[in-house]
Amino acid sequence: MTERLSDETRGPLLQPLFDNGWTMIEDRDAITKTFIFDNFVEAFGWMTKAAIWAEKWNHHPEWRNVYKTVEVVLTTHDVDGLSSLDAKLARKMDSLV
Ligand SMILES: C[C@H](O)[C@H](O)[C@H]1CNC2=NC(N)=NC(=O)C2=N1
Could you report the per-residue pLDDT of 65-90, keeping only the tens digit for each?
Answer: 999 999 999 999 999 999 999 999 99
- List pLDDT tens digits, range 13-58: 999 999 999 999 999 999 999 999 999 999 999 999 999 999 999 9
What confidence tier does 1 reach under pLDDT thresholds 50, 70, 90?
Answer: confident
What separation in Å is there between the alpha carbon of 87 and the centre of ligand 1?
A: 14
Pocket test for ligand 1, best of 53, 78, 80 (most atoms within 8 A of CB): 78
The domain ranges of the chain are 7-95
Is the CB of residue 77 below 6 angstroms from any atom belonging to ligand 1?
A: yes
The reply to whether ligand 1 has any atom less than 6 angstroms from the CB of 58 is yes
Q: Where are the beta strands (DSSP E) in the chain?
A: 23-24, 31-36, 62-66, 69-74
Tell me: domain 7-95, CATH 3.40.190.10, correct?
A: no
The pTM of the full predicted model, rounded to 2 decimals, is: 0.97
Strands 23-24 and 31-36: antiparallel
ipTM, two decimals: 0.96
Ligand 1 atom 16, closest CA = 59
